[in-house]
Structure 1
Amino acid sequence: MNKVSLGAASGESSEEHAKRDGRIHRPSPAVAFVGRHNSGKTTLLVRVIAELVSRGFDIGSIKHHGHCDFDIDVPGKDSYRHREAGSRDVVVVSPTRMARITELDHEIECDDIVSSMPDHDLVIVEGFRQSGLDVIEVLRSGNDRDLPAAEEYCEIGTVRGVTPVAVVSNMESVHAVAKRRGTPSFSLEDIEGIADFLQAVYVRPKLTVAIQAGGESRRMGQSKATVPFLGEPLLTRIVERVACAADELVVTTNEASRLGFLGDLDIPCPLKLVPDSFEKRGSLQGLATAFGAASHSLVAVIACDMVFASPQLAIAEAAVAHSERVDAVVPCNKFGYEPFHAVYRTNSCLEATHEALSRGCVRAKDFFDLVNLRPFMSAEVTEAVPERGCFINVNTPEELAHIEATIMAEGDR
């Protein structure tokens, strides 16, 4: 039997884990370091992990083991005796640590293991060359097994059929070829350089969530932010719904003096109120204000009248923006784009909105052709938010009352 020690050995996805424990989880980005036995991967990764942790990042790691009979348990200990007695799944847990040893009938796919490890800024994988993850090749001249691999890389740019996104080596020939191919390369001692590369490309960026609160609404007859909904201001509901997805919350508003109640909320991130940056109000101006106010490289923009605004959707959109390195991830359905429940790359979209405004544009979507936009299709929305309804917004007292009555009769989403 194969053995594995991890938090969710069954390959439970982060979505399934979230449903089970009731929390909102963020998928962890991952990258693999690969090489032959004695190439120095573990020694390198121990130093890289320590450097990233020293920078304040939450790091997870996976080690692929080539021997099916490996063991990390200690003979004579209670957990070992459980396994000796025939238990196929042993969990040892204390208030601060957990270990799980599971007998497997087949090897778990690497992406399933990563999915079972949510909420890390980065998961570093040692091994799993064929996993589909981006790989960083480690090549050391003192290891005879690395010499044929280095020759292959220098000749055709791959190792065992996989093209590395970067190489770490002490071989001048490898560095010369990497430079010629435009591939980042690092020495075995350049721990800071490797960490800089991982931080720039793979570490999950922090997310600002910007709630567009505006001010008076003619159709609502008053401010949507402060209109009562289920016994509290509507804005309170939206803030409390989406705060778990945010590293920073921004509320764009022209009535900050009326939003003092936000200071009483117990939310897990800092919140700031920001006035509109433009005298003339409009959808595009509102987006530009949100982009300009965001402290982080990604910003989820959500309208305060979306009563079922979804943190899961914002997290899923941000994950796509990061992994695919696009400027905007905007839900798209048969009615068109939903720009006010979307994630944007702050700097590029701020520049694009100002360019569109200089052309006299006013609609939110008028800058889309100036950025690398990734439509987030209906099937992807459903996967992130199976209960749907996250784009429902309220514009009139009648619509508000209808949604309120529906929630009271059928339950919230």
Structure 2
Amino acid sequence: MGRDKALLPLPGAQTMTFVSHLATLLSSVCREVILVARDQPQADLYLPHLPSPIRVITDLTPHVGPLMGLYSGLRAMTTPQAVVTAVDMPFVQPALLTFLLSQAQPDKVVMPMVDDVPQVLLALYPQSVLPWIEQRLREGRRDPRSLLALVPVLPIKEAQLRTVDPQLRSFVNVNTPEELSFYSS
């Protein structure tokens, strides 16, 4: 993208950024919302765009990647489950979040499957997976997908997801200037 995707203008609501939109959306369905930034300079960039009472933390070890972000967030939270979403998914639907939360199980990752691909950056993770994340990080892994080989997973099939998000808009990532332009027009 060439710039921080969290601070991109939300398609259809140019006065709102991706990060402010997602924080507001998550606040409407979750008791606790934690934004995990890579490091303190990134956290400082996000703070002016966030509604209260969003908590901003930084990766316990900066620049390790998304698995460290997941680990840092799960360690910081006070609830047993976390809806995890990437900041570059601006079309997450509230009904999908509510559905994922309704599927919570104490020791299983609730994993949406789209085209039979696990959607690791829009899923429900229990805090109980922390030991497995620690193991993967010790092994030098950075990708949340690697976790799926170790943890119990409750897969949510695409047909189930479509009952609450018929077009699966929640799973759209915006990764390039062309994609942002497409969705903004």
TM-score class normalised by the smaller sequence: 0.7 to 0.9
Q: CA deviation at 1:335?
A: 5.0
**2:47 matched to 1:260?**
yes
SS in structure 1 opposite 2:6? coil
- C-alpha distance in 2, partners of 1:260/1:363? 26
Give the 3 Å change call, closer, same or farther, for CA 299–344 of structure 1 in structure 2.
same
Deviations 1:361-388 (A, max 9, x none): 2221111222211111101111122342
Structure-2 separation of matches of 1:386 and 1:279: 37
TM-score, normalization: structure 1? 0.41
CA distance in 2, matches of 1:260, 1:360: 30
User: Contact conserved, 1:242 with 1:309, CA < 8 A, in 2?
Assistant: no
Structure 1: tracts of 5 or more residues without a match = 1-219, 406-413
Match of 1:315 in 2: 98
The alpha carbon displacement at 1:276 in A equals: 1.1
**1:306 and 2:93 aligned:** no
Question: Residues 267-310 of structure 1, C-alpha deviation per residue, up to 9 Å, x if partnerless?
Answer: 6xx31001111133212112112211211100010011101112
- 2-side partners of 1:381 and 1:330: how far apart? 11
Aligned to 2:59: 276
Which secondary structure state, in structure 1, belongs to the residue aligned with residue 136 of structure 2?
helix
Match of 2:143 among 360, 363, 377: 363
1:248 partnered with 2:28: no
Q: Which amino acid aligns with 2:173?
A: N
Identity %: 25
Superposed counterparts of 1:224-239, under 5 Å: 224-229=5-10, 230-239=14-23
Distance change in 2, residues 1:319/1:326 (3 Å): farther
Residue 340 of structure 1 pairs with residue 121 of structure 2: yes
Query: Contact 1:242 / 1:310 at 8 angstroms: preserved in 2?
Result: no
| Cα separation, 2, equivalents of 1:377 and 1:307 | 22
Larger radius of gyration: 1
Structure 2: any 5+ residue segments left out of the alignment? none
- Asked if the contact 2:23/2:54 (under 8 Å) is kept, the reply is no
How big is the alpha-carbon RMSD for the aligned residues of Structure 1 and Structure 2?
Answer: 1.7
Cα distance in 2 for residues equivalent to 1:277 and 1:221: 25
Q: Deviations over 1:50-98 (max 9, x none)?
A: xxxxxxxxxxxxxxxxxxxxxxxxxxxxxxxxxxxxxxxxxxxxxxxxx
Conserved 8 A contact 1:326-1:374: no
Verify the 8 A CA contact 2:107 2:129 in the aligned structure 1.
no
CA distance in 2, matches of 1:258, 1:279: 16
The count of aligned residue pairs is 179
Relative to structure 1, the CA distance from residue 328 to residue 244 in structure 2 (aligned partners, 3 Å threshold; closer, same or farther) is same
Structure 2 Cα separation of the partners of residues 371 and 327 of structure 1: 7
Counterpart Cα distance in 2 of 1:402 and 1:306: 14
C-alpha distance in 2, partners of 1:260/1:373? 33
Q: In structure 2, how many angstroms separate the alpha carbons of the residues matched to 1:365 and 1:221?
A: 25
Q: 2:91–2:170: 8 Å Cα contact kept in structure 1?
A: yes
Deviation by residue 1:97-137 (Cα, 9 ceiling, x = unmatched): xxxxxxxxxxxxxxxxxxxxxxxxxxxxxxxxxxxxxxxxx
C-alpha contact 1:245 1:312 (8 A) present in aligned 2? no
Asked if the contact 2:20–2:49 (Cα under 8 Å) also holds between the matched residues in 1, the reply is yes
CA contact (8 A) 1:243 1:311 kept: no
Q: Which residue of the partner structure matches residue 221 of structure 1?
A: 2
CA distance in 1 between counterparts of 2:47 and 2:100 reads 30
SS where residue 329 of structure 1 aligns? strand
Q: Greater relative contact order: 1 or 2 (C-alpha under 8 angstroms, separation 6 or more)?
A: 2
SS of 1:248's partner is coil
Aligned in 2, Cα 1:329/1:361: closer, same or farther, shift over 3 Å?
same
Q: Tell whether 2:69 aligns with 1:289.
A: no
- CA deviation profile, 1:203-243 (whole Å, cap 9, x unmatched): xxxxxxxxxxxxxxxxx111111123323222112222232
Partner-residue secondary structure (3-state), 2:171 = coil
* DSSP-derived class of the 1:402 partner: helix
SS in structure 1 of the partner of residue 111 of structure 2: strand
Q: Provide the residue aligned with 2:160 in structure 1.
A: 380
Equivalent position of 2:181 in the other structure? 401
